Amino acid sequence: MIDAGVFADGDRVELIDGEMRDMSPIGPLHNSATNTLNMILAPLLSGKAIVSVQGPLVLDDGTEVYPDLMVLRQRADRYAESNPTGEDVLLVVEVADSSLAADTGVKLAKYAHVGIRLYWVVDIPSRALHAYRDPNAFAGRYRQLHSVGEGALGISIQGVDVRVEVADLFPR
């Protein structure tokens, strides 16, 4: 499509339900929150899971998205043979500056539909972390939402206890 002039080299797009959609630009606050989560998660999960930053995720035949961060099941080929699918995902994180409606709307529904068990949205304008769990695949939604504006969020991934101080995701 780049050769045909449909997209310029470097355009950020995702395929959702067969439709190409522009991705929001990555600003400094977005980049900082993503980097902070990577710095927290990668060392803790080394050897137990793969932390992928803005890599592809195939949800179905018509949907390939690029979450800001994913924690994936360990695989010997480190996903060289095929891109991860929903079955490979332990946690998906989207960082929302201007994309909150999409991240808590169509993307949330797609992630729940394929059974992604943990989905976090870092809400930059509200300085909060929204943690979704227990997907209802049929309804395309999550049964539980825990939003944290102050304090920390703790979870266990592959037997490793992970604690994220929400304030660390945002500059002082």
What average pLDDT does this structure show over 108-136? Answer: 97
Predicted pLDDT at 10: 58
- pLDDT above 90 (res 108): yes
129 closest CA partner among 112, 156, 150: 150
Q: Is residue 71 part of a domain?
A: yes
Q: Is residue 3 part of a domain?
A: no
- pLDDT above 90 (res 59): yes
Predicted pLDDT at 5: 41
SS3 string, the chain, reads CCCCCCCCCCCCEEEECCEEEECCCCCHHHHHHHHHHHHHHHHHHCCCEEEEECCCEEEECCEEECCCEEEEECCCCCCCCCCCEHHHEEEEEEEECCCHHHHCCHHHHHHHHCCCCEEEEEECCCCEEEEEEEEECCCCEEEEEEEECCCEEEEEECCEEEEEEHHHHCCC
What average pLDDT does this structure show over 77-81? Answer: 97
Q: 132 near 120, Cβ under 8 Å?
A: yes
- pLDDT above 90 (res 35): yes
70 closest CA partner among 56, 82, 81: 56
Q: Is residue 34 part of a domain?
A: yes
Q: Is residue 38 part of a domain?
A: yes
Q: Is residue 17 part of a domain?
A: yes
CATH number at residue 122: 3.90.1570.10
List phi, psi (to 5°) of 150: -125, 145
Q: Is residue 129 part of a domain?
A: yes
Q: Is residue 110 part of a domain?
A: yes
What average pLDDT does this structure show over 145-159? Answer: 95
Q: 132 near 145, Cβ under 8 Å?
A: yes
Q: Is residue 106 part of a domain?
A: yes
Which range of residues forms the domain containing residue 32? 13-169
Number of domains in the chain: 1
- Torsion-angle region of 132 (φ positive above 0: left; ψ -120 to 50: alpha; else: beta): beta
- Partners of residue 52 on adjacent β-strands: 70
